[in-house]
C-alpha cells in the first residue's frame, strides 16, 4: 500500500440545514441512524425522512442502552443518540433512498458524552493530542484485509462443533466436479497479484470500489491478497482518527452488503483458513503539526525523526496491552504465528514485514513518511484500536522511550536461532487481557479511556470469548486424543 499526502475530501455537508437540503436533492425517504457498540459492530434504526429536523440534531433521540453489548444495565437503560451532521452519506446499498448518519452516544441525565461510546473515545483521543502540544493532527491508513467466500456453515452445541468455508478459487477445489471445472485455483500463499482468471474477484472488487466511492470513501487501490480462497484488500486514502474509524465501519458494511447481493459472503475474521495467511489491518500512522509531518527527518534511519522513533518506542513498550484492543479475539492469535507474514517480533525495521513496526520506504517525499503498526486486525473496534495506538505512541514521545536499534534481518530466522533473546507478541487473548489489566495508565490520560470501559472490556472478553472457547472441545482434540 502506498499512502500519499493528506487529500482534501470531496465537499460534504457540515450542518443540519445542509443535511436536510441534501435529503431533498437526493429524494431521500429514510434516515438511518448508526452508532457503534463496544465490541465494534454498527447498530442502527431508521426514521422517515420527514422526521429529520433541527430538533433531532440538537436534542437527540432515545434508545435502549441495555440491549447493546457493553453498554448499560436494564435499570439504567435510557440513552441518547446525537446525529453528527458531518457524517451524512447517501447509502449506496439500500433499494429505498436512504441517508446514513453516524451518531454520538450521550447520557440523557447529564447530556455528557457516554464514557463507553467508542466514537467518543476516538474524539477524546484527538482532543488529547491537540492539548498535548505535540501535534495538531494524526493521520491513519489501515489496510483492511478480508476473505470473500462462496459458502460458510458453522455450528457448536453439546455434541458437535464444526465449520465449513468454501471458495470457487480455493486450492482444495482443483478436483471438484464443477461441470466443468475450469481450473485456475489459487495455490496456498500464491494469491498475491496474479491476473484473472486466477484472480476471480477482479470485477467483484471493482464494483465494490465504485459503491465505496459513491458513498464518499476515497479509495486508492484494490488487489487480491496472498491467501487462496478469496483473500482481498481494498485501500483507502488516509484520514484523521475519528473520520477513518467511521470509514472502516462503512467499508465493512458496504463489502458485506455487496457480497450478499452477489450470493457471496465476506468475513473479517483474522484466520478463517488453516495453513495460509490470515487477514490483518496493518495501520499506517503519522503525526502532523499543521502542514509539517513530524515523523520525517532526511538524516534519520529510514528518514525517521526522533519523534517518530519515540512514538515507535511507545507502541513496542505497550504492545502486549495494546493487542487487547488491536487483536482482540481468540482467532487473532491463530494469525499471529510465525511463517505467514505475521508480525510476531516486537521490533521495528524498514521494509521488513515480520517486525511489528515497519517503516515503508517506497518514497523519499516528506509528505509520505509514516510508520506501519502490523499486529492489528479488523476484528477490532477501529475507534478503540486507533485511539489506543495513538495514546501508546504519545506516551513514548512524552517519556522519550527509545525503541533500540532496528532489526534489518530475517526476524523469523533470528527467532529460530535466538528465540529466548527475541521479544515476541503474546500468544493468546488471555495473555493480552492480563497485560491490559496491568498496563493501562497511559490510556487514561486526558480521560480518553476510563477505568470503567477497560474493566468492562476485559470482563466481556474473558467471559464471552476466552472462557467460551476454553470450555469447549476442539475438533482437533478428537484427532489427537479420541483413541487414548
- Report, as residue numbers or ranges, the catalytic residues: 64, 143, 145, 225, 233, 282, 353, 372, 374
CA 428 to chain centre: 19
Q: 216 phi and psi, to 5 degrees?
A: 90, 10
Cell of 51: 422526521
- 333-343 core/surface letters (b: 16 or more CB in 10 A; e: else): bbbbeeebbbb
Alpha helices in 267-381 (DSSP H): 306-317, 319-326, 332-335
Q: 43 phi and psi, to 5 degrees?
A: -115, 160
* E-assigned strand segments in 84-136: 89-90, 98-106
Q: Which of 339, 387, 341 is nearest to 118 (CA)?
A: 387
Q: Which of 347, 397, 401, 395 is nearest to 374 (CA)?
A: 347
Cell of 468: 467460551
Cα dihedral 202, 207, 208, 214 sign: positive
Q: Could you write out the DSSP letters of every residue in 20-45?
A: HHHHHHHT--EEEEEEE-TTS-EEEE
Q: Give the separation between CA 389 and CA 381, rounded to whole angstroms.
A: 12
240 membership: H or E segment, kind and range:
strand 239-240
Q: Could you write out the DSSP letters of every residue in 46-99?
A: EEEGGG--HHHHHH-EEEEGGGSTTS--GGG-EEEEEE-GGG-EE-SS-SS-EE
Amino acid at each position: 500500500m502506498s499512502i500519499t499526502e493528506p487529500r482534501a475530501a470531496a465537499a460534504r455537508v457540515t450542518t443540519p440545514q445542509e443535511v436536510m437540503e441534501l435529503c431533498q436533492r437526493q429524494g431521500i425517504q429514510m434516515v438511518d441512524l448508526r452508532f457503534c457498540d463496544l465490541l465494534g459492530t454498527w447498530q442502527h434504526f431508521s426514521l422517515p425522512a420527514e422526521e429529520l429536523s433541527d430538533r433531532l440534531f440538537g436534542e437527540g433521540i432515545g434508545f435502549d442502552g441495555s440491549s447493546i453489548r457493553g453498554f448499560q444495565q436494564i435499570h439504567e437503560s435510557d440513552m441518547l443518540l446525537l446525529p453528527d451532521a458531518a457524517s451524512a452519506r447517501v447509502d449506496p446499498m439500500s433499494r429505498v433512498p436512504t441517508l446514513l448518519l453516524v451518531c454520538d452516544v450521550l447520557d440523557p441525565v447529564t447530556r455528557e458524552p457516554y464514557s463507553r461510546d467508542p466514537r467518543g473515545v476516538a474524539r477524546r483521543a484527538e482532543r488529547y493530542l491537540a492539548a498535548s502540544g505535540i501535534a495538531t493532527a494524526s493521520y491513519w491508513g489501515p489496510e483492511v484485509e478480508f476473505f470473500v467466500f462462496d459458502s460458510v456453515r458453522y455450528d457448536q452445541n453439546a455434541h458437535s462443533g464444526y465449520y465449513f468455508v468454501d471458495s470457487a478459487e480455493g486450492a482444495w477445489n482443483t478436483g471438484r466436479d464443477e461441470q466443468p471445472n475450469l481450473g485456475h485455483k489459487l495455490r496456498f500463499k500464491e494469491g498475491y497479484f496474479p491476473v484473472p482468471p486466477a484472480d476471480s474477484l477482479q470485477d467483484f472488487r471493482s464494483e465494490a470500489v465504485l459503491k465505496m466511492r459513491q458513498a464518499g470513501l476515497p479509495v486508492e487501490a484494490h488487489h487480491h491478497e496472498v491467501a487462496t480462497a478469496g483473500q482481498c484488500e481494498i485501500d483507502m486514502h488516509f484520514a484523521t482518527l475519528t473520520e477513518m474509524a467511521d470509514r472502516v465501519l462503512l467499508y465493512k458494511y458496504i463489502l458485506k452488503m455487496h457480497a450478499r447481493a452477489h450470493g457471496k459472503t465476506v468475513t473479517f475474521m483474522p484466520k478463517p483458513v488453516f495453513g495460509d495467511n490470515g487477514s490483518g489491518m496493518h495501520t499506517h500512522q503519522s503525526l502532523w503539526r499543521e502542514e509539517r509531518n513530524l515523523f520525517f527527518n532526511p538524516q534519520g534511519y529510514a528518514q525517521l525523526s526522533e519523534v517518530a522513533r519515540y512514538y515507535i518506542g511507545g507502541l513496542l513498550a505497550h504492545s502486549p496491552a495494546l493487542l487487547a484492543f488491536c487483536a482482540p479475539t481468540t482467532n487473532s492469535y491463530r494469525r499471529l504465528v510465525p511463517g505467514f507474514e505475521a508480525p510476531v517480533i516486537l521490533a521495528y525495521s524498514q521494509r521488513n514485514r515480520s517486525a511489528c513496526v515497519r517503516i515503508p520506504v517506497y518514497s523519499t517525499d516528506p509528505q509520505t513518511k509514516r510508520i506501519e503498526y502490523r499486529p492489528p486486525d479488523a476484528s477490532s473496534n477501529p475507534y478503540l484500536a486507533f485511539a489506543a495506538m495513538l495514546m501508546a505512541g504519545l506516551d513514548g514521545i512524552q517519556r522519550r522511550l527509545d525503541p533500540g536499534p532496528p532489526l534489518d534481518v530475517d526476524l523469523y530466522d533470528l527467532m529460530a536461532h535466538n528465540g529466548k533473546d527475541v521479544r515476541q507478541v503474546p500468544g493468546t487473548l488471555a495473555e493480552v487481557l492480563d497485560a491490559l489489566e496491568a498496563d493501562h495508565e497511559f490510556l487514561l490520560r486526558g480521560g480518553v479511556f476510563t477505568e470503567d470501559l477497560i474493566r468492562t472490556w476485559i470482563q466481556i472478553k474473558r467471559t464471552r470469548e476466552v472462557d467460551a472457547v476454553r470450555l469447549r472441545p476442539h475438533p482437533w482434540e478428537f484427532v489427537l486424543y479420541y483413541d487414548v
